[in-house]
């Protein structure tokens, strides 16, 4: 008989999306076996969680490890990026496979499996971004959903001449995905109009990073969000808008949205920073105004937002400098995976903007439900994977690129003081990170085939 791995977490306060209570949690092998008060069990390993919240491991359903983009690659690998996530309480990512035009979706998926398999430290699943919808790719959708564990896809309404697809492709794509029980997510910005604005700006010699934001105005996002919601209604398809920065009206339809930590916490004043500093925040959509942040916090509390993700897509400053003379060549994206859980606690819960239950819903339960991982992931319940974070709400830290684990030479939150820290992160019952020290390494992460989209979740 193989020896069981048993672990008892004592005296913690379990926080889920709906409840909060004192309990011990007993883990057998990779799963949560028992939850209860003063458990009398024989455990090989015991963790004292006095004073800590016990949260389900965070799920960041929007990341781009090693993304080939704008002539370079995102600087975190599956190894460095998922490990940084584990340091900050994120145990699972759902990363975006990107189809190269002319290639099949299946071969793109295989390439991403190669990058992640044997490398990722945390668990991972994949969405597939469809950049070339045709009869051949259409024929692949069912198999991907039913046999390959990929029920979610992405389409770009922006990045004209690169990743963007037109309305007809979008329409066909959402119909096909819906037919087999999947979910389409979209990057909603009007790529055609942005292309004109960028050309006009460059022609006037307006080339510094701040013009990135000025050439991607809120209207382009509002128009594309409205358009995709209407198209989805017409197609009878559920739709999910990624990295939403502003509010879009919705009728009674399954239109879901996520926002990202940066849109809640940072605003467009960073684009006026000295010299090339603004390049650190060049991402799409760009950062908006403070008033938009308030609307997003409200959206969270009104149950209009399903998840807070990061769109983690880091580039070193050397890479950002590809656009030193022309903002449109600055690789779009910023690092974020490591501090999502802690920042949302510090700025959200500690400042009274959201409850602890809402925090857990945004960082774990919401993404698990939307993306077919619930209840294996995203909650603390008997039978769920023992992905558990011991979160110390009293511990303070200062964020810095000097101490973070992401492979990026700057932090978008440099010098921010944060209240609350992930003390210990467990992944499938194994201590992954304890007090800032990694206990597992390369290849520990497993691929997570996911279930079909469940509209009743």
Judged by the rule CB under 6 A, the positions of this chain that interact with ligand URP are 64, 187, 243, 283-284, 311, 313, 332-333
Q: Name the residue with the smallest CB distance to ligand URP.
A: 332
Token pair belonging to 364: 């774990």
Token pair belonging to 390: 């011991």
Would you give the binding string for Zn ion spanning residues 297-326, x where CB under 5 A is met?
--------------x---------------
Beta strands (DSSP E) in 171-236 are 183-187
Out of Zn ion, ligand URP, none, which partner does residue 164 contact, by CB within 5 to 8 A per kind?
Answer: none
Taking CB under 5 A as the binding criterion, the range among 121-129, 183-191, 208-216, 354-362 that sits at the site for Zn ion is: 183-191
Shortest Å distance, C-beta 418 to ligand URP = 23
Taking CB under 5 A as the binding criterion, the range among 182-190, 403-411, 418-426, 437-445 that sits at the site for Zn ion is: 182-190
Q: Which is nearer to Zn ion, 314 or 323 (CB)?
A: 314
| Dist CA 90 CA 97 (whole Å) | 20
Q: Any contact of residue 212 with Zn ion (CB under 5 A)?
A: no
| Dist CA 365 CA 98 (whole Å) | 26
Q: Which is nearer to Zn ion, 216 or 404 (CB)?
A: 216
Out of Zn ion, ligand URP, none, which partner does residue 333 contact, by CB within 5 to 8 A per kind?
Answer: ligand URP
Q: What would you report as the CA-atom Rg of the chain, rounded to the nearest whole angstrom?
A: 21
In 3D space, the residue among 285, 267, 188 whose CA is nearest the CA of residue 228 turns out to be 188
Q: Which is nearer to ligand URP, 243 or 421 (CB)?
A: 243
In 3D space, the residue among 450, 457, 367, 374 whose CA is nearest the CA of residue 145 turns out to be 450
Q: Which is nearer to ligand URP, 287 or 363 (CB)?
A: 287
Shortest Å distance, C-beta 58 to ligand URP = 19
Residue 249: alpha-carbon gap to chain centroid: 23
Applying CB under 5 A, which of residues 148, 187, 280, 339 lies at the interface with Zn ion?
187
Out of Zn ion, ligand URP, none, which partner does residue 370 contact, by CB within 5 to 8 A per kind?
Answer: none
Question: Peptide bond preceding 259: is omega within 30 degrees of 0, i.e. cis?
Answer: no
Question: Peptide bond preceding 285: is omega within 30 degrees of 0, i.e. cis?
Answer: yes
Out of ligand URP, Zn ion, none, which partner does residue 283 contact, by CB within 5 to 8 A per kind?
Answer: ligand URP
Token pair belonging to 230: 């209407």
Q: Which is nearer to Zn ion, 258 or 311 (CB)?
A: 311
Shortest Å distance, C-beta 397 to Zn ion = 26
Q: Are 150 and 126 in contact (CB under 8 A)?
A: yes
Q: Which is nearer to Zn ion, 25 or 186 (CB)?
A: 186
Q: Are 36 and 8 in contact (CB under 8 A)?
A: no
Q: Which is nearer to ligand URP, 241 or 313 (CB)?
A: 313
Q: How many Cβ atoms are within 10 Å of 162's Cβ, its own excluded?
A: 13
Q: Which is nearer to ligand URP, 15 or 330 (CB)?
A: 330
Out of ligand URP, Zn ion, none, which partner does residue 307 contact, by CB within 5 to 8 A per kind?
Answer: none
Q: Name the residue with the smallest CB distance to Zn ion.
A: 187
Q: How many Cβ atoms are within 10 Å of 139's Cβ, its own excluded?
A: 12
Residues between 326 and 365 that touch Zn ion (CB under 5 A) = none
Taking CB under 5 A as the binding criterion, the range among 84-92, 184-192, 197-205, 350-358 that sits at the site for Zn ion is: 184-192
Distances from the Cα of 32 to the Cαs of 16, 26, 28, 56, 387, in angstroms? 14, 6, 6, 11, 9
Q: CA torsion 96→193→213→323, rounded to 10°?
A: 70
Distances from the Cα of 269 to the Cαs of 310, 328, 413, in angstroms? 20, 19, 14
Out of Zn ion, ligand URP, none, which partner does residue 377 contact, by CB within 5 to 8 A per kind?
Answer: none
In 3D space, the residue among 308, 282, 313, 407 whose CA is nearest the CA of residue 65 turns out to be 313
Out of Zn ion, ligand URP, none, which partner does residue 332 contact, by CB within 5 to 8 A per kind?
Answer: ligand URP
Q: Which is nearer to ligand URP, 212 or 404 (CB)?
A: 212
| Dist CA 242 CA 378 (whole Å) | 19
Residues binding Zn ion (CB under 5 A): 187, 311
């Amino acid at each position: 008989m193989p020896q069981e791995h048993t672990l008892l977490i004592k005296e913690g306060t379990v926080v889920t999306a709906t409840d909060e209570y004192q309990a011990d949690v007993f883990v057998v092998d990779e799963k949560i076996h028992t939850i209860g008060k003063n458990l009398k069990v024989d455990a090989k390993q015991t963790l004292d969680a006095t004073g800590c919240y016990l949260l389900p491991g965070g799920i960041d359903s929007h990341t781009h490890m090693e993304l080939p983009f704008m002539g370079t690659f995102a600087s975190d690998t599956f190894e460095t990026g998922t490990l940084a996530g584990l340091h900050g309480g994120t145990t699972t990512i759902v990363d975006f496979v990107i189809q190269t035009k002319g290639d099949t979706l299946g071969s793109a998926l295989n390439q991403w499996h190669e990058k992640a398999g044997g490398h990722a430290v945390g668990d991972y699943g994949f969405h597939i971004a469809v950049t070339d919808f045709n009869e051949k790719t259409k024929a692949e959708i069912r198999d991907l959903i039913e046999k390959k564990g990929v029920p979610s896809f992405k389409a770009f309404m922006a990045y004209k001449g690169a990743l963007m697809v037109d309305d007809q492709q979008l329409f066909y794509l959402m119909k096909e995905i819906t037919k087999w029980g999947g979910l389409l997510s979209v990057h909603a910005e009007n790529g055609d109009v942005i292309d004109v604005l960028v050309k006009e700006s460059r022609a006037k010699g307006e080339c510094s990073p701040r013009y990135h934001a000025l050439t991607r105005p809120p209207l382009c996002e509002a128009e594309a969000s409205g358009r995709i919601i209407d198209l989805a209604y017409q197609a009878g398809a559920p739709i999910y808008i990624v990295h939403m920065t502003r509010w879009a009206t919705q009728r009674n339809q399954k239109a879901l949205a996520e926002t990202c930590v940066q849109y809640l916490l940072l605003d467009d004043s960073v684009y006026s920073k000295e010299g090339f500093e603004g390049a650190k925040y060049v991402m799409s959509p760009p950062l908006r105004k403070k008033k938009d942040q308030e609307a997003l916090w409200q959206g969270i509390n009104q149950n209009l937002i399903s998840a807070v993700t990061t769109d983690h897509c880091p580039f070193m400053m050397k890479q950002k400098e590809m656009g030193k003379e022309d903002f449109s060549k600055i690789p779009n994206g910023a690092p974020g995976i490591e501090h999502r859980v802690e920042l949302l606690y510090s700025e959200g819960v500690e400042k009274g903007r959201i409850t602890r239950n809402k925090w857990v819903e945004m960082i774990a339960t919401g993404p698990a439900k939307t993306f077919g991982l619930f209840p294996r992931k995203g909650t603390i319940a008997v039978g769920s994977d023992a992905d558990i974070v011991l979160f110390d709400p009293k511990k303070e830290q200062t964020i810095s690129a000097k101490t973070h684990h992401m492979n990026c030479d700057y932090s978008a939150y440099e010098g921010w003081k944060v209240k609350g820290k992930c003390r210990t992160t467990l992944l499938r019952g194994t201590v992954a990170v304890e007090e800032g020290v990694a206990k597992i390494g390369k290849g520990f992460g497993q691929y997570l085939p996911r279930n079909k989209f469940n509209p009743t979740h």
